[in-house]
Amino acid sequence: MASRLGLRPSPHRAIFARAPPSALRPATLAAGRLACASRRLVSTAAAAPAAAAPDDGWRTRQGLSRYADRRDIEFVLHEVERVEAEAEEVRGVLDSVEDFVEEWGPVDPALDQSPPKLITAEDGSTAVEVHPETKRLLADYHARGFAEMEELGLPFSVQCAAQFLFGGAFPSNPLGFTVLTRCAADLLEAHGSESLKGEYLSDMRAGKVVGTMALSEPHAGSSLGNIRTTAVRAGDGPLGQEYRLKGDKMWTSAAFHDVTPNTAHMLLARIAGPDTPPGARGISLFLVPHLLPDGSPNDVEVVGLNKKMGHRALPNCAWSLGGGAGGATGYLVGEPHQGLSAMFQMMNAMRIEVGLWAAALGKRGLNESLLYAEGREQGGKRIIEHDDVKRMLLQQKAYAEGAFALTIHAATLHDRNAAGDAEAGAMLDSIIEVVKSWPSEWCLEANKWAIQVLGGSGYVHDYPVEQLYRDNRLNMIHEGTAGVHANTLLGRKLRDGRAAPLFAQMRASAAAADEEAAALPPDSRAESALLRELAGSLREAVARAESVTEVLTSDEARPVALVNAHEYLNLVGHTVVGWMWLRLATAAARPAAAADGADGFYCGKLHTAAYYFRHELPKTEPVAATLLSLDTTVREMRADWF
């Protein structure tokens, strides 16, 4: 029994095992809105991508895609989170997504290697030309109805599971067009006038108009209160209040492309006039289209295409408004001076998705390096049998699968909050900085180890892991840098007793693990002992985090509390992901015991949980000691000493 769990690797490797595709596709789906979504997504015929080529022997391992682990996705959804959706219905949706990524996934390296180009026409105008396969991929995405998942009633948690599959297959981010358009459309639907929604919303939902988020300027990134783009009232038009805008925008993705004839920017600007408050309180939200309702071009111009490290399928532009005499036409969305407030209403969902994309790339790196390690021989045996390679694979698995569990848990909290559960909303608000930042940092670390498993092969374009690292690097930067989120977590979110519910919830999970350990059959001693060990370790880690939080949020520590805020973010993050791994282990213990070691999936979950608690969670101890000392070495370093 002890050797079954071991904690030694099971000789039966079924981490990626699943039923054949035909067994997973339901012949019929139950009635209801979710079933309608499933039918819509399953039934639409696909167009095979021209660039997709067979990838014999490398693309799959024991019958499962290299892009993600369907069994793991369904385990987290149904056995851990118990989402309020029928398993068969969810499977129908995920089957459709998996079909799509299997057909189109092989195109992604070409999109990375041939990024968009800035084209200058004979008349001197400029535009962005994207890869032809990007346009075909996006057309097929919309033809299959994937853009309608939200409208057809799929829970956000299930949508995130689908996004996880998309993210692993398309690291160069061609689907960024759809994500940004959905976010822009959600903003318009929530805050726009009926006339604006009538003009743009249905076309945005259908993929006929791409939406963007135009926030940053050359001098203003995180400090949006410093933006200089101005809007002057120009009276009422057929679509509501019209303004003439002038300024410069930077880091705008999915802009000035040839995917669709028109693009609608959701843009932040400052209304000119004495009534506009200074700083962030004076920012308003506008819709600025490329083409005006009469079909004439707006006064907007791309001035540069940023050459990026990753996400190369998605153009990222510097552009200007109002270079002509009159200024660019824009339409006020919502109330004046409420632009940031409107943006922040959708930030939780965006931050969950950033963490999810990071987790997807971490998992893809694990799959790629696992495939390589099973086929590569050195020293007379496959390198997967070498201890250090196992360590690197375990680290990837611990980071990527822990991050995935965290993001799906956050998505279920989002669902519950939308249904009126205020406690779920408060819990999500307390961990959202971790949900965005921890996967972004540590799944990048996972990609580092994926490269290392492949050695020199991991460093070249012939294998995909170097691209995964480049693409994942952005996630620590966009939607708020790690430093910004660290300051928010410590400086605001977990102050004044607001951390108590989070710590209480983690302790409740430890108690539940103890109860499950006691309830396991008598012949499950190894599983019971492991659950008790993990529960005890989590209690110790929670106590550490609680003590550090109490000290850093005290009045005495206030002047220096934020000096090491990033370390605090990692302390809380490692503890929260430990919580996730305890929940995963608690769900896996009983089926692992019932299978008596014959199911490598559950054995792998328990073994990875043990690895995380024995190798990763102890890293919080020296971090806690540094934080409790209120060390100010960083602050005391003078700029002229570097």
Q: How far is CA 354 from CA 148, 316, 487, in A?
A: 20, 17, 18
Could you give phi then psi for residue 579, rounded to 5 degrees?
-55, -45
| Maximum CA extent, the chain | 82
Beta bridge partner(s), residue 241 = 236
- Cα–Cα dist 374/361, whole Å: 20
The Cα–Cα gap between 441 and 429 comes to 20
Dihedral pair phi/psi, residue 632, rounded to 5°: -120, 25
Q: Are 488 and 565 in contact (CB under 8 A)?
A: no
- Give the Cα separation of 243 and 259 in Å (integer): 27
540 is catalytic: no
SS3 526: helix
> Residue 581 phi/psi, 5° resolution?
-65, -30
Q: What is the DSSP string of 235-295?
A: EEETTEEEEEEEEEEEEEET-S-SSSSEEEEEEEEEE-STTSPSGGGGEEEEEEESB-TTS
What 8-state DSSP symbol labels residue 297?
B
d(CA 282, CA 601): 53
H helices of 473-619, in order, are: 482-488, 500-519, 525-552, 565-595, 600-611
State the alpha helices, DSSP H only, in 12-69: 21-24, 33-43
CA angle 551, 552, 557 (to 5 degrees): 90
360 neighbors 50 (Cβ within 8 angstroms): no
Reading the block at residue 137, the tokens are 């991929």
Contacts of 514 (CB under 8 A, 6+ apart): 531, 532, 535
Q: Estimate the share of the chain in helix, then strand, then coil, as percent rounded to the nearest 5.
A: 60, 15, 30
Residue 196 DSSP label = H
Radius of gyration of the chain (CA): 25
| Cross-strand bridge partners of residue 220 | 217
Report the Cα–Cα distance between both ends of the chain, in Å, rounded. 57
Residue labelled with tokens 């303004």: 243
Beta 209-214 vs 381-382: how paired, if at all? unpaired
Beta strands 283-289 and 262-271 are antiparallel
- Alpha-carbon span 530 to 6, nearest angstrom: 10
Q: Give me the helices (H) in 63-193, please.
A: 70-74, 87-104, 108-113, 132-143, 156-169, 176-191
Among 217, 479, 527, 546, the one annotated catalytic: 479
The answer to whether 567 and 438 are in contact (CB under 8 A) is: no
Closest CA to 399 of 364, 351, 349, 354: 364
Amino acid residing at 280:
A
Total residues belonging to the chain = 642
Angle between helices 132-143 and 176-191 (to 10 degrees): 50
Q: Structure tokens of 611?
A: 């690895």
Could you list the active site residues?
479
